[in-house]
């Protein structure tokens, strides 16, 4: 660590918050409050589809008519009465912020292009807005309730002209509310109306955007999770979940114990006896118990293994992260019947796994899953800036994260809806959710943040938020921990509140007091650190065991800017902005960050110019950016992988800041808004190969990393160094290598230092590393562009977001590489369903000994627009003359059939060409 004082965490000049509030505990029967009073909107559009709720069913409201309250002169009672005219109101989906709806209907421009977001007046969102929806009931024979969370920032709630909850009660995006409206509903059409209050993340426990992107003008006010209408009999089921215990160390032949828990509540006005049945799918387990409850009584029900021996499982099917084993899931079906008729039922899925995270001898948190240690290879997740949910898009991003070799995503606030966690369970991606930094969430403890201090109501909201999210997330085996603090740990009172809520929810995984290096009285040391960096540093930085280098568990770290592909830039920035991007290195960039610390690309651009040479055009600038991002991201993940098995102070986890952006960004992303992938992504994918050969910038060792479960023997590692003119400088092969499984490493050799002129083409050279198996098949290839003159860092001048570079490596010799020629053929095969695979065979047909460096393949349509998303098995490859590769691209089948499909081939020293890739 630097000896310079650093702000306790000035680190991100962010402004965001996540609101929370108690509307009454889940087990307490919901009261029906007083009458009407307020007023709100009036606008246009077709009416939303009316939700119909069948007896014994649950349905989500299908959408809303919305309008600014300032434009609605009528009373709240009138607005919330069935039949109220909403001609002129805007239409919103079932999960929508105000701005998302107004962008969708064309009222406001696309905020993702250029500076168009600045054209949206913030004053339009300064007051409350109405959200109005209808639902129909065929009869009123059952009890009816509303169940929801996701209100930003608070709301008065009305049903059929009556207020059922106030904004003082329904406050906070994470608090959950169940409102019994049985006495207000009728057969036929019913109306629910929310008067949504404006959001300010500095003042409310909601959410915001800090310095990730330009925050939306409406501050995300709206309803961003489903509002459910339940119809049930007299006895209802709540808080159903399964507590799992696993004997560790364990394997598929181990033992597990299950405990099924729920609360049973009599919502009627007379005593009732319910038969509760618990069935666990895939096990044959069916349990029953009769429960007699007085009117309004709630009682805990527990099916425990000490009374039900069938809950002791032999050889359970365990849930594993991707790459470590299968993602086995079980299902719980709980039913309550009264007098032979179903009264209520719930379904939950769960996984059996054991997560531990003790501190190692160096004080770093070391995660284990089912007894096996793993290095956390993570990245920060961003929700969509307008909080629009798209299950397909989320799954595409989760698949992209896994394909890049990541095993974890961190959610700092912006805790996504249920489907996100279901996808992570199914695909085996670990998750680290937690509260946000720097706004209201850290108001009591963060002196450099923007959040206001808490009052008594805020503490109730925080408690309710933790209780609701703990209950929602606890059964998801993908959830690795919950971080109750980010840059700062909560104060003692809040920490106890959080821990009590987690304990009451039977939270099954480690609770981390903060993502930064703190120690609290109740939780002890966090075992994490938040040293950054957040802006450009050279690849060699990651190998030093100091600051953000590869040691311990770094919860946020990257070299900052990430310039997307030229395709994405052209659909993101105006022509004038594209010109400024490469001609004005220190100019403010609207699409980088609102923070004065990060609103330019000055550090990145200076490094790019000093190391690769001044850009000659936009295309040249983007090409150099891809080279720089590839080498930097690769080095970060490789350094942490190499040091994971160090005997002293090993690396245990890193969270690349960030994986994706919720906006069109030049900042903190491995994939861009459109899921196009460039140097940053493919650098991570290369570094995180299951079996991987890599070069170390600090000591020039070549190591083999094996992330597969089993050891591998009889490997051969070959290292060849080349000058930029193709001259061979060094060539050595080491045979008979063996490396253990589970992230083990073995060192193959040390590469000699290259002596060359201090500057110019001779200072730049290439290193080609190949790893072959016992049959001589190439199983890993890794190519580095290196400088005989190293980058030199000034650690004494380190600040909270980067370490300055005083001398830059010289990679300008790459500009003198001879032009390489490649030829390729492509063929697209339609698979079952909606997917196709394009197979490309590419060969370097150049004479001499110059490689085709960082050769990129893009699948494009007839207008040369990228076909996205695409999963390439490899990309941005490096081929020497005579070498060839077969690459595959999995993508959705083009529509309509026969659409033009081509492969665009380009590279650092390869002219751009196109080949046909249409189906035969």
Among 890, 887, 889, which residue's Cα sits nearest to residue 877? 887
Can the peptide bond before residue 533 be classed as cis, meaning omega within 30 degrees of 0? yes
Evaluated on CA atoms 94, 96, 102, 108, the torsion sign reads negative
Evaluated on CA atoms 773, 779, 780, 781, the torsion sign reads positive
Q: Is 832 helix (H, G, I), strand (E, B) or coil?
A: coil
Give the separation between CA 615 and CA 816, rounded to whole angstroms.
14
Angle of helix 618-643 versus helix 602-612 axis, rounded to 10? 90
Give the separation between CA 691 and CA 800, rounded to whole angstroms.
35
Give the separation between CA 366 and CA 344, rounded to whole angstroms.
42
Provide the CA 45 distance to its chain's centre, in angstroms. 34
Q: Which helix (H) or strand (E) holds 576?
A: helix 575-583
- How crowded is residue 298: how many other Cβ atoms within 10 Å of its Cβ? 18
Q: What is the pLDDT of residue 832?
A: 84
Active-site option among 134, 442, 556, 676 = 556
Give the separation between CA 599 and CA 602, rounded to whole angstroms.
9
* Burial profile 28-51: b = 16 or more Cβ within 10 angstroms, e = fewer: ebbeeeeebebbbbbbebeebeeb
Q: Is 600 helix (H, G, I), strand (E, B) or coil?
A: strand
* Burial profile 648-676: b = 16 or more Cβ within 10 angstroms, e = fewer: ebbbbbbbbbbbbbbbbbbbbbbbbbbbb
Q: Is residue 343 within 8 Å of residue 236, measured between CB atoms? A: yes
Provide the CA 716 distance to its chain's centre, in angstroms. 37
Q: Is residue 748 within 8 Å of residue 695, measured between CB atoms? A: no
Q: Is 180 helix (H, G, I), strand (E, B) or coil?
A: strand
Give the separation between CA 680 and CA 406, rounded to whole angstroms.
13
487 is catalytic: yes
Can the peptide bond before residue 399 be classed as cis, meaning omega within 30 degrees of 0? no
DSSP string, 198-226: P--TTTSSS---TTTSPPPTTTT-EE-S-
Q: Is residue 708 within 8 Å of residue 715, measured between CB atoms? A: no
Among 130, 109, 122, 155, which residue's Cα sits nearest to residue 43? 130
User: What single-letter DSSP state applies at residue 908?
Assistant: T
Among 653, 685, 680, which residue's Cα sits nearest to residue 667? 680
Token reading at 805: 């570079």
Q: What is the pLDDT of residue 56?
A: 86
Active-site option among 425, 487, 535, 567 = 487
Query: Strands 884-892 and 870-872: what pairing?
Result: antiparallel
Q: What is the pLDDT of residue 595?
A: 95
Please calculate the CA angle 30-33-37 and round it to the nearest 5 degrees.
150
Give the separation between CA 903 and CA 918, rounded to whole angstroms.
9
**Which positions ≥6 away from 133 have C-beta within 8 Å?**
48, 51, 61, 62, 63, 64, 65, 191, 192, 193, 227
Token reading at 687: 């570094």
Give the separation between CA 854 and CA 687, rounded to whole angstroms.
15
791 is catalytic: no
Q: Is residue 376 within 8 Å of residue 641, measured between CB atoms? A: no
Q: Is residue 162 within 8 Å of residue 36, measured between CB atoms? A: yes
Give the separation between CA 414 and CA 411, rounded to whole angstroms.
6
Helices marked H in 404-447: 418-427
Give me the average pLDDT of each 10-residue run along the chain (920 residues).
32 32 36 30 51 88 97 98 96 97 96 97 96 96 97 98 98 98 97 98 96 96 98 96 88 82 96 97 95 97 97 95 96 96 96 97 97 96 97 98 98 97 98 97 95 97 98 98 98 98 98 98 97 97 96 97 98 98 97 96 98 98 98 98 95 98 96 97 98 97 96 98 95 98 97 75 92 97 97 96 97 96 96 92 94 98 95 98 97 77 97 90
pTM of the shown model: 0.94
Angle of helix 492-504 versus helix 456-473 axis, rounded to 10? 30
Among 326, 514, 322, 507, which residue's Cα sits nearest to residue 430? 322
Give the separation between CA 660 and CA 670, rounded to whole angstroms.
6
Token reading at 590: 């609207």
Residue whose tokens read 């719930």? 346
Q: Is residue 112 within 8 Å of residue 672, measured between CB atoms? A: no
Give the separation between CA 216 and CA 555, rounded to whole angstroms.
26
Q: 3-state SS of 69-108?
A: HHHCCCEHHHHCCCCCCCCCCEEECCCEEHHHHHHHCCCC
Q: Is 613 helix (H, G, I), strand (E, B) or coil?
A: coil
**Which positions ≥6 away from 235 have C-beta within 8 Å?**
264, 265, 266, 267, 268, 272, 274, 291, 293, 336, 338, 343, 344
Residue whose tokens read 């050769």? 855
């Amino acid at each position: 660590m630097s000896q310079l004082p650093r702000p306790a965490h000035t680190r991100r000049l962010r402004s965001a918050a996540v609101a929370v509030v108690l509307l009454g505990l889940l087990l307490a029967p919901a009261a029906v409050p007083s009458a009407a009073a307020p007023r709100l909107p009036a606008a246009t559009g077709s009416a939303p589809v009316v939700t119909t709720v069948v007896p014994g069913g649950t349905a989500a409201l299908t959408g809303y008519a919305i309008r600014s309250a300032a434009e609605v002169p009528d009373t709240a009672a009138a607005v919330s009465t069935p039949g109220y005219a909403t001609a002129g109101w805007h239409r919103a989906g079932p999960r929508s912020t105000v701005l998302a709806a107004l962008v969708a209907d064309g009222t406001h421009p696309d905020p993702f292009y250029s500076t168009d977001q600045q054209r949206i007046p913030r004053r339009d969102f300064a007051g409350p807005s109405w959200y109005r929806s209808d639902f129909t009931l065929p009869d009123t024979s059952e009890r009816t309730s509303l169940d929801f969370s996701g209100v930003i920032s608070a709301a008065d709630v009305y049903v059929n002209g009556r207020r059922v909850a106030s904004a003082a009660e329904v406050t906070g995006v994470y608090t959950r509310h169940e409102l019994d409206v049985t006495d207000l509903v009728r057969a036929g059409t019913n109306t629910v109306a929310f008067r949504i209050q404006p959001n300010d993340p500095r003042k409310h426990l909601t959410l915001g955007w800090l310095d990730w992107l330009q925050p939306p003008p409406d501050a995300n006010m709206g309803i961003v999770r489903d509002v459910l209408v339940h119809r049930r009999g007299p006895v209802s089921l709540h808080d159903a979940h399964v507590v799992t215990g696993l004997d560790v160390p364990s394997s598929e032949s181990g033992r597990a114990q299950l405990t099924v828990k729920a609360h049973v509540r009599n919502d009627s006005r007379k005593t009732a006896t319910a038969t509760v049945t618990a069935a666990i799918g895939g096990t044959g387990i069916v349990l029953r118990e009769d429960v007699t409850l007085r009117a309004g009584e709630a009682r805990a029900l527990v099916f425990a293994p000490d009374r039900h021996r069938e809950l002791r499982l032999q050889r359970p099917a365990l849930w594993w992260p991707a790459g470590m084993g299968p993602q086995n899931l079980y299902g719980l079906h709980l039913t309550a019947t009264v007098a032979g008729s179903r009264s209520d039922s719930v379904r939950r899925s769960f996984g059996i796994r054991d997560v531990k995270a003790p501190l190692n001898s160096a004080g770093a948190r070391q995660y284990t899953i089912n007894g096996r240690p793993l290095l956390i290879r993570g990245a920060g997740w961003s929700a969509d800036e307008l909080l629009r949910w798209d299950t397909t898009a989320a799954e595409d991003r989760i698949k992209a994260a896994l394909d890049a070799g990541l095993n974890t995503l961190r959610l700092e606030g912006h805790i996504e809806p249920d489907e996100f966690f279901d996808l992570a369970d199914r695909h085996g991606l670990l998750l680290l959710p937690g509260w946000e930094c720097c706004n209201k969430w850290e108001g009591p403890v963060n002196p450099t943040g923007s959040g206001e201090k808490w009052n008594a109501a805020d503490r109730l909201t925080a408690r309710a938020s933790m209780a609701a999210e703990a209950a929602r997330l606890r059964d998801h085996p993908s959830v690795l921990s919950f971080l109750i603090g980010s840059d700062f740990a909560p104060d003692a009172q809040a920490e106890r509140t959080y821990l009590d809520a987690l304990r009451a929810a039977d939270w099954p995984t480690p609770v981390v007091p903060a993502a930064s290096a703190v120690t609290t009285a109740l939780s002890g040391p966090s075992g994490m650190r938040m040293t950054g960096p957040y802006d450009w540093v050279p690849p060699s930085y990651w190998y030093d065991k100091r600051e953000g280098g590869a040691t311990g568990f770094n919860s946020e770290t990257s070299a900052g800017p990430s310039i997307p592909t030229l395709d994405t830039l052209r659909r993101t920035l105006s022509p004038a902005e594209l010109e400024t991007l490469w001609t004005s290195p220190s100019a403010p960039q609207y699409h980088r960050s609102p923070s004065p610390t990060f609103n330019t690309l000055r550090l990145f651009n200076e490094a790019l110019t000093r190391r690769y040479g001044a850009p000659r055009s936009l295309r040249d600038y983007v090409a150099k950016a891809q080279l720089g991002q590839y080498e930097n991201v690769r080095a970060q993940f490789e350094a942490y992988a190499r040091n994971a098995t160090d005997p002293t102070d090993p690396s245990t986890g890193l969270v690349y800041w960030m994986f994706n952006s919720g906006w069109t960004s030049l900042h903190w992303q491995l994939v861009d808004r459109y899921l196009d992938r460039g140097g940053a992504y493919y650098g991570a994918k290369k570094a995180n190969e299951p079996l991987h050969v890599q070069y170390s910038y600090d000591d020039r060792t070549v190591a083999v990393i094996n992330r597969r479960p089993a050891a591998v023997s009889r490997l051969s590692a070959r290292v060849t160094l080349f000058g930029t003119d193709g001259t061979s400088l060094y060539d050595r092969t080491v045979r008979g290598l063996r490396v253990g499984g589970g992230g083990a490493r073995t060192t193959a050799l040390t590469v000699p230092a290259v002596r060359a002129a201090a500057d110019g083409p001779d200072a730049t050279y290439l290193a080609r590393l190949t790893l072959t198996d016992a049959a001589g098949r190439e199983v890993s290839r890794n190519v580095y562009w290196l400088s005989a003159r190293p980058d030199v860092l000034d650690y004494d001048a380190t600040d909270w977001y980067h370490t300055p570079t005083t001398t830059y490596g010289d990679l300008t010799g790459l500009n003198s590489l001879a032009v390489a020629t490649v030829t390729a053929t492509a063929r697209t095969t339609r698979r079952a369903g909606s997917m196709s695979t394009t197979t490309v065979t590419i060969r370097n047909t150049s004479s001499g000994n110059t490689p085709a460096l960082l050769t990129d393949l893009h699948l494009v349509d007839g207008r040369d627009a990228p076909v996205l998303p695409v999963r390439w098995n490899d990309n941005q490859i490096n081929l020497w003359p005579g070498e060839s590769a077969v690459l595959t691209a999995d993508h959705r089948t083009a529509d309509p059939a026969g659409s033009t499909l081509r492969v665009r081939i380009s590279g650092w020293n390869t002219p751009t060409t196109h080949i046909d890739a249409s189906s035969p």
